[in-house]
Structure formats: structure tokens, C-alpha cells
Amino acid sequence: MKNKDLIESFSGIRGIFGQTITPNFAKKYAFVFGNWLANKLGKPAIIIGCDSRPSSEELKKAMIESLVSLGCKIIDVGVAPTPAISFGVREYGCEGGIYITASHNEPEYNGWKFLWRDGALLRPDQIKEVIEAVHKTKTLPGPKVVDKVAPKPKAEIVNRHKDLIQKYVNFVLDLLGKEAVQAIKKTKLKIVVDPNGGAATTVIKQILDGLGIEGVYLNMGLGEFKRKVEPIEESLAYLVDVIKKEKADLAAGWDSDADRCEIVLSEKFLDSYVVSGNYVLALLVDSVLTDLEDARGKIIVTNDATSNIVRRTAKRFGANVKEVEVGEINVVEEMYRLDSPVGGEGSSSGGIFPPQRCRDGMVTLAMILKLIAKQGQSLAEILTGYPKYYAKATKVKCDPEKQVEIRKRLEEHFEKNGFKTQKTGDETGGLKILVTFDSFIFFRASKTEPGIFRIITDSPEKIETERLLKMGRGAFENVKRLI
């Protein structure tokens, strides 16, 4: 039986350090991944980095030990944001990468993501191969064997932390373009930033300095988590008072690996001080498409849990939206297939901007600043001009062994009652109930939190959104009781 506290999926490996996640387990995964890459691409160069959790360095050392035994070239970049390491895969010509993080989970958790040679996460079929190989691998070479064979492969370890940080900062500024950078500098914006001791601390000041932004820097001690790791209203609410006290324009907060960036305002927008990830993505679509000579026919890729506000925003430019299954790599793959200029998931406030192949919380903030400069309005004023969509979400507990059957029964229930349904992915993917053209109920088993099912609703009317959430939860509980 699978350990319910361990997640092994295309989103990565994740669990509680010292229980399901241990240095020995990390060694095994690194060994298998290194072998797998060697079989695919020849002797690999692998970039490895981590977030600032207390256990990350220990796991990194364990993984490097395995990679050394295989004779891999290892580029150690230390603590750095996920998007910086994704960039580094391509910058240093690596065959793959490892990023040690548990993202938005609390500090007692940890895990890792594996990157392909383009800097994106391994595709679902690839990570499946690695996971299956790990479960088939019973033992690894012992210390004496490793000591004996290590000199022969001539493993090489190089440190590129400072070099990567500087190159990534330059990459972010170059992606904006000189004209946009100069326009941002003229705004004289003041921003409160809270990396919460996470990987964003390594780059955010350099980026804001490059944009001429006055920063109010909070929680900049690397590895010092002063609030909950997940950047949500509960953990970021205190920033409202800081914005007012400092007379700042807005605030930004990141998770531990900095692929997400949440934006905080001094006044509520749609009942929240934290701008919904759906609206962050809409702002990014606005920012990117505004700069195109002709955005007509362009396709924005989102997941199927994303609010229709993104579709409405894209439509203003004559662009379309293509929905895929929840999961960063699913969005990335479709973006590159369709030559999409921007994409992302409304559930995660981090856009994807080619040539990047992952969510980028640094570029997300920079692109919003670019839009503010272009429009000559405050962020609150820009948002006020958008159509209103109210999204609600809840989590319900579910036996992981019953998740597939529950999804099937939910589909049958709603179709029987006259609703159209839309599915993405395999039997564990999302199920979307199309209530009207402009509103939906979405169901999906979480692949990052064991035993959790997510229910999301979206509608232009607040009362209707709440009604749909109640309907969705009621249907879920009724179906669960029947299994």
C-alpha cells in the first residue's frame, strides 16, 4: 500500500522530512535520475539547487553523493529560485536539473523536482519512468564501492551560485526590454516585499534596483520563516498595514522557491487584499498582449480550473484561450506547441513567459510593473476596469484509493442532471461542470496534498459562486457516501 504522506507525481516528490523524505531516499532518486539521464542523453551535466528549508542542504549533499558516484558533471547553484534554476539548465547547457523544495508546504516538508534539458519539469511519461525505476531499485552501491569507482568516472563539481544569480537577474531585465525598464523607472513606485526567508531573497533586491524601484524589504533573512510558507491572505494580511504606513503602492510575497508571486493591495479588490491568481494571470495576459503588434489569433494556455476573467481579457485582443489539465508541465507543453506568448494557472500566481519553461514569480511582478507603467494607472485602478469574476475554492477529504471512482460518479451525477461536463488528463485529472457559458464547478484530486480533493467554482456573481460551491460540495459528499 502506498504511503499516504508521500506524493510522487509529475509535479514532483514531496513529503515530511525525516519520515517519508530522507537523505537515503534522496540518494536513491538522484542515482536513478542520473542513470536515466545517462541512458537517454549520454553522460549528463546536471544543475542542482534548493530552497532555504533547514533540510534542503542535507538532501542536496545526499543527492550530489549519488551523482558523483555516477561520474556526472554537477553544477551546484545553492539556494536560488526555481525559475533561476530552470533558466540555468539552458544557460549552462545541462542535460537535466534537480530542484530541492516543497514549494508552498510548511518547513517540515521537503521534496524535489526533476528538470529536462530544456529547463521544464520532466514530462508525465518521463517522471513515471523515473518513479517506477526508483521502486524497482532495492539497493545502491555502498560507500566502499563508490570510493572505489568514483575516481574512474572523474565526476566534476562546480559552484555557480553567484554567476547564476547575476545572469538570472539580467535575464529578467532583458525579458522586459530597455524601453519597459526605463518606463518603470519613471513611475517612482515603492513596493513592500516579503520573500519570507525563501529563495526570492537571493534575487529580488537586485531586480528591483535594476528597475529603479524603492523597496521596503521584510523577512530577508535566508531560511528564517516568519510567516506561513504559502503566500495567501492569512499569511500576507499584515502587509496591508505596512503598505499604508510606508505609503507604498503595493506589496508582493513569495513561496519558498519563488515560482509564485502574490500581490497585496492596501484596499480590498473582490473582498480580498490579495489579488486573486486568476486576476494576476489576467494582468499578465494584458501586459504581454499589449506589446504585440497584432495579438489576434494568439493562444493563451491555462488550466481548466482558471477563471473566465482570463478568457475575457484575451478576447479584448482577439486572442483565444486553450485549457489543459492542471499542472505546470501541461501548460508549458501546450504553450510551446501553440507558440503561446504567455500562460499559467489561475490557482498559482506565477505566469509562464517564453523562453522560460516554468512559473516565474520574479518575471510575474516585473510584468505587472510594466503594465502599471504602460497604463499610467495604479494597479487598483487597472483592476477596477476589469469585469468581475468571483472564484471560490474548498478542500474536502477523500480516501486516495477512492478518488478515481468518486470522479467517475460525479461525472455521472451531473450529466444525469442535464449539465455538460469537460474532462482533462487521465482518470485522475480534472472534471469541470459547465453550469453556464460564464460559470463552472471544478473537481480534482490533489497531487500535492495526500487525501485531498479540490472543489473550485467561478461566476460573475458572488452569490452564484457561493451557491455553486455549496452544490459541488453537496454532490461530492453524497457520492462519497455511496462508495
Catalytic residues: 103
Cα distances from 364 to residues 79, 240, 357, 389, in angstroms, run: 20, 20, 13, 21
Instruction: Using DSSP bridges, classify how beta strands 348-352 and 45-50 pair: parallel, antiparallel or unpaired.
Output: unpaired
For the chain, counts of helices (H) and of strands (E): 17, 21
Handedness of CA 358, 359, 363, 369 (dihedral sign): positive
Rounded CA separation 120/132 (Å): 20
> Which helix (H) or strand (E) segment is 445 a member of?
strand 439-445
Q: Which residues contact 55 (CB under 8 A, 6 or more apart)?
A: 17, 18, 21, 110
Contact 191, 243 (CB under 8 A): no
Question: Helix 308-316 to helix 277-290 angle, to the nearest 10 degrees?
Answer: 10
Cα 67 to Cα 29, 33, 37, 90, 289, distances in angstroms: 10, 9, 11, 19, 43
Record the cell numbers describing residue 239, joined without a space: 502587509
